[in-house]
Amino acid sequence: MRKLFTAVRRSPARRAVYTAALALVLCIAGFGAFLRYVLSGLPSTNGLEEYTPSLTTRVYDANGKSIADFSIQRRALIPLSRIPVDLQNAVIATEDNDFFGHYGISPKGMLRSLFNDLLHRRAAQGASTVTQQLARQIFLTPEKKVIRKIREIIIAFQIERRFSKEEILQMYLNQIYFGESAHGAGEAARVYFGKDVSQLTLPESALLAGLIQLPGKYSPFRNAPLAKWRRSIVLLRMQEEGYISKAEREAANNEPLPAVKPLYAATQAPYFAEYVRQYLEGKYGVNMLYQGGLKVHTTLDLDAQRAAERIMEKNLQAIDADVAKEADKTAGNGEFDADASTRALRMQGAFLMLDIKTGAIKVLIGGRDYKETQFNRAIQANRQPGSTFKPFVWMTALQNGYTPATLVDDVPMAYYYDGRDWRLFEGATDQYSIRLATQPFVGSKDFKIWVPNNFDYKTLGKITLRRGLELSRNLVSVSLVDKLGPTLVVETARRAGIRKKLDPVPSLGLGTSAVPLIEMVNAFATFANGGIRVEPFAVSRVEDQQGRVLEEHVPGETEAFAPNYSFVLTNMMRGVVERGTGARARSLNRPIAGKTGTSQDHRDMWFIGSTPDVTAGAWMGYDDVSITIESRDWTGGSTVVPWWTEIMGELLRDQPARQFPVPEGVSFVLIDSVSGKLALPTCPAKNKFLEAFVKGTEPKTFCDIDHDRGQ
């Protein structure tokens, strides 16, 4: 009985032990489950050695000047050796003054944080070390939860175990956000001060360190007084930690803050930058472009680009003012002008300059305001080139037995379309005979009539091929296309560099097939380059973030035309500037081979000109192709040539004037410019002209005109 009674008395104690043991087991199991849950969401730090943050792709001009940045986050990867000690000290003093003494966490700081959180009854006070902040930035979310904080501490310990303090600080300074889309100290230095991080001063370093806590609140561009106060706090902490003296602190406090973002922060040459961006995205993909930290070296001359943009805009503003003035004048006369509001639209323009030897794009302007419209008129717009197309006709003629002295017809003509082809009315070479020939077909649905005309509605009869180009005679061009065949002219344009579809019709020589400016400029560059065609390009070299070259452009050359034929055509095109429709470009006082152009109803006005080194083309017109210009004073020669000349005068100011090199197979002969034959001593001096010929095609007979009698 006693034994049984004792067992009964002891049973409650045993139950307590069992209960405690069970509770302990449950606690251990719960803690294990909790620990497993914490660890299960813990990312590995094994790849941190190879970790590369999302970096900014930078685009530079030919002289190393910044043009544009492409990125998801603006960031540059900078070694610690290039980051000023002042910035390192400022960050440590402000964010983690015991950085070099702890093992990833600061117990003192955590207790202080806990006290403040309890005091405010919310998670108001952070106590993260630099290492914890790095762990959170790379591996975790910024939300304030207990689980996230525990994981942050564990990762911080792992980082401290695997890396030196210097490596941790370098990763931190390349990762942390400084506001204004700038991630990392390198990008912050560029965004706030427009300089390389290695050039930062003490006050600049203190300002950046102060931004880390609340970048938007302490930005000098948003709240200068608050930014200055925050900088003073950082400088005070640096003095308290012994990094700077009191005198240094006071001097730094007196330095002004940056008032506006540096110029670099805005994209330069936006149409060119977008052209480059599309190329890079197509070749390297979106991820590499926006996160790969590429260094893209381009062909652009940024100084030349800015000058060209300024001059073009000034001139187009003046043209807009003239158009508005004419509209007001018409309204003032009491006449209703239905198009007055339309004419008040802004005139658009485009300009492109290539290096003729390499095809490098030196200047590219796709329009007046990229923010208003991103349509690139130098690349994307297909517009009628008008008479600017004529050199392709003249080159075809040279290659098929014509010479600059060949006499061609500048006479009236008419064509009819029989349903299959355009045909010339034979024998209809004056206005009376043309009216007789076309009268039966007027109003016919089966036959279309086309009667081309010169710009001045006059004809000159027999003139030399050279004179026909210099004066841009439409009837000469149409006659040549008819005799040579439009298909041959299309082939010549293709070989020169035109890629767009061209309609092989008699009007082809008048530039009725629309083409982009870049192709026209490239084709003209082929002529100026002795018949050697090179493809236009914008990117000269691409490097990855380690400086390894991913691509480097090597110009490819194609011999499109023989050098002697190209020189003869170029020499004829020089006459367009010296005596013809492009005479306003003569003020450059250097050899220029060019051609003006005006499309139907003055919708498009062009000028493309070459020196022995560069070819530049300019276009102006309205984006709305339905708008026509009634004034006959508006031509490529009167509107575009002046501002093309002003731009080129600025860009070529320091370049010596050079002659186009004369290749083998060219001879110079003194001819009579009226008869096209060898000049005699009796020929008037004004008619004598030293003409260039493909050797073997020179005139063999002497002038037979009696100049005294005009016969």
Residue with tokens 């049973």: 11
Q: What's the per-residue H, E or C state across 95-110?
A: HCCCCCCCCCCCHHHH
What is the mean pLDDT for each group of 10 consecutive residues in the chain (711 residues)?
A: 46 65 60 48 53 78 91 75 94 89 69 54 59 71 58 77 86 86 86 90 95 91 93 95 94 91 71 94 89 94 97 94 76 50 73 98 95 92 96 98 96 84 80 79 76 90 96 96 96 97 94 96 98 97 93 94 98 97 95 94 92 97 82 78 97 94 97 95 93 96 80 52
Domain ranges of the chain: 1-40, 73-265, 414-451, 665-711
* CA distances (Å), origin 346, targets 251, 339, 370, 465, 623: 52, 14, 14, 38, 9
Residue 449's pLDDT is 85
**Rounded distance, CA 211 to CA 420, Å?**
75
**Rounded distance, CA 667 to CA 662, Å?**
9
**Rounded distance, CA 538 to CA 305, Å?**
13
Residue 119's pLDDT is 54
* Count of CA atoms in the C-beta half-sphere (13 A) of 120: 10
Go through the chain and tell me how many residues it has. Answer: 711
Residue 144's pLDDT is 53
Residue pair 383/515 in contact (Cβ under 8 Å)? The answer is yes
Residue pair 218/211 in contact (Cβ under 8 Å)? The answer is yes
**Rounded distance, CA 478 to CA 489, Å?**
11
Residue with tokens 């170029």: 570
Dihedral (C-alpha) 422, 427, 428, 433: value to the nearest 10 degrees?
-140
Bridging pattern class, strands 182-183 and 74-75: parallel
Q: How many helices (DSSP H) and strands (DSSP E) are in the chain? A: 21, 21
**Rounded distance, CA 6 to CA 361, Å?**
105
**Rounded distance, CA 690 to CA 394, Å?**
19
How many other CB atoms are found less than 10 A from the CB of residue 46?
Answer: 9
Residue with tokens 């049984």: 4
CATH dotted code for 73-265 = 1.10.3810.10
Q: Is 95 a catalytic residue?
A: yes
* CA distances (Å), origin 293, targets 17, 229, 390, 454, 599: 65, 34, 46, 56, 45
DSSP 58: E
Residue pair 597/388 in contact (Cβ under 8 Å)? The answer is yes
Q: Is 540 a catalytic residue?
A: no
Phi-psi bin for 466: left (phi > 0), alpha (psi -120 to 50), beta? alpha
Q: Which of 128, 387, 479, 673 is catalytic?
A: 387
Residue 143's pLDDT is 54
- Name the strand (E) or helix (H) holding 517: helix 517-528
Tokens of 461: 């009869």
Q: Which of 71, 95, 566, 599 is catalytic?
A: 95
Rounded (5°) CA angle 553-557-563: 150
Residue pair 584/567 in contact (Cβ under 8 Å)? The answer is no
Beta strand spans in 458-592 (E)? 461-464, 532-534, 539-543, 549-552, 557-559
Task: Look up residue 700 and give its amino acid.
Answer: K
**Rounded distance, CA 149 to CA 127, Å?**
11
How many other CB atoms are found less than 10 A from the CB of residue 455?
Answer: 16
Give Cα 145 distance to the centre of its chain.
47
Helix axes 390-398, 517-528, angle to 10 degrees: 30
Give Cα 169 distance to the centre of its chain.
37
**Rounded distance, CA 297 to CA 300, Å?**
9
* CA distances (Å), origin 201, targets 187, 207, 227, 247: 15, 10, 16, 15
Q: Which of 178, 254, 244 is nearest to 210 (CA)?
A: 178
Q: Which of 362, 363, 364, 360 is nearest to 380 (CA)?
A: 364
**Rounded distance, CA 656 to CA 612, Å?**
11
Bridge partners for 423 per DSSP: 416
Residue pair 381/350 in contact (Cβ under 8 Å)? The answer is yes
Q: Which residues, other chains included, contact 645 with Cβ-Cβ below 8 Å and sequence gap of 6+?
A: 584, 585, 587, 588
Residue 124's pLDDT is 43
